Amino acid sequence: MHKYTHLLATISTYAITCLWNDDMNQNFAKNLRHVCAERVSIAQICREIGINQQQFNRYLSGAGLPSAHNLRRICLYFDLQESDLLSDSEAFAQRRGQLNRNRPTAREDPFANAFPGDLARLRQYVGAYNIHFMSPSWPDCVMIGASFLDDLGGQISVRTIERGVGPEQVNLQRARYDGKAGFHGSRIFVVEFESEQEGSISETVLYPAHRQQRTYLRGMTLGLAWRPRRMPYSGRVIWKRADVSASVRDVFNLCGVYPIEHKVIDPIIRNFLLEKSGLQGEN
């Protein structure tokens, strides 16, 4: 089966090469440069498509043509048909200009390029976590919630659940936050929206201490307290990655509010949350 698949791909590539003339080649290169200029960088485009940047630069310069397979991947990435990239470059630019006039500009949408940022780096952190922070509603207690980072077609979604039983067996109101994560400058930025109450936005900045150590993500979070009033608060937060063998139920079972000295609080987490000055590094 693999032999025949390779043969068909080779035939398709040969057919495309024979059909393309110099004008089509130059049109393709110009049209490709045009759509690439709408993105953050060539390096990011190549990472997200999964194509060699040196080879991609040959396409941009008109010095090389993509195989049928790579042409399809490029078109899927830019949401174009093959005929679009092979069409007359002036007509293509005019159509793109009309299309872009109907879209929010970077000035109108300042978050257009914020998410996901460096997708390849961010994908390393996809998974389930228990999040920990000092509860603004219960002094000297730690709130443990559950957060899930998922790769949804090139965007990293974030879903956070806070629920459980607090001190003195007080039932907590269940809250769910949905948002996105971005990776910029070796930092993970999380913005989430909770719509079930009166609506609130939380913001978190996390940093991995070492590339090889992804168990703990330390940072700061900003949001609204649950009680006694919905007042703004900010504080340290630390995310601990769930074990590979852990189920979603296992992650949820840790949720709740616990005294800071409770045995369920990891000593590394306790030390970080109680540290008075500066975000500390890895132990």
More confident residue, 209 or 102: 209
Together in a domain, 166 and 247: yes
**Rounded to an integer, what distance in angstroms lies between the CA atom of residue 149 and that of residue 159?**
7
What are the tens digits of pLDDT across the range 148-184? Answer: 999 998 899 999 998 866 666 666 668 899 999 999 9
3-state secondary structure of 221: strand
Together in a domain, 163 and 91: no
What are the tens digits of pLDDT across the range 42-69? Answer: 888 888 888 899 999 999 998 888 988 8
Q: What is the pLDDT of residue 95?
A: 84
Together in a domain, 92 and 192: no
Together in a domain, 90 and 124: no
Q: Is the pLDDT of residue 205 over 60?
A: yes
Q: What is the pLDDT of residue 49?
A: 87
- Enclosing H/E stretch for 184: strand 175-184
| CATH number, domain containing residue 7 | 1.10.260.40
> For the chain, how many structural domains are there in total?
2
Together in a domain, 90 and 209: no
**Rounded to an integer, what distance in angstroms lies between the CA atom of residue 31 and that of residue 25?**
10
Together in a domain, 53 and 88: yes
**Of 49, 70, 101, which residue constitutes the final position of a domain?**
101
> What is the mean predicted confidence (pLDDT) over 175-199?
90
Residues composing the chain: 283
Q: What is the pLDDT of residue 68?
A: 87
**Rounded to an integer, what distance in angstroms lies between the CA atom of residue 252 and that of residue 269?**
18
Together in a domain, 130 and 20: no
Together in a domain, 86 and 207: no
Q: Which domain holds residue 47?
A: 2-101
Contacts with 33 (C-beta within 8 Å, 6 or more apart), sequence order = 60
Together in a domain, 137 and 249: yes
Determine contact, residues 145/131, Cβ cutoff 8 Å: yes
Q: What is the pLDDT of residue 114?
A: 87
Together in a domain, 39 and 157: no
Together in a domain, 140 and 222: yes
* Average pLDDT score, the chain: 82
**Per the domain annotation, does 239 fall within a domain?**
yes
Buried/exposed code over 97-106 (b: 16+ C-beta within 10 A; e: otherwise): eeeeeeeeee
- Quickly state the pLDDT bin for 137 (edges 50, 70, 90): confident
Q: Which two tokens stand for residue 86?
A: 């092979």
Together in a domain, 131 and 200: yes
**Per the domain annotation, does 13 fall within a domain?**
yes
Determine contact, residues 100/108, Cβ cutoff 8 Å: no
Across 6-15, 24-33, 154-163, 263-272, least confident range? 6-15
Write phi, then psi, for 71 (nearest 5 degrees): -60, -40
Q: Is the pLDDT of residue 3 over 50?
A: no
| CATH number, domain containing residue 190 | 2.40.128
Q: Is the pLDDT of residue 226 over 80?
A: no
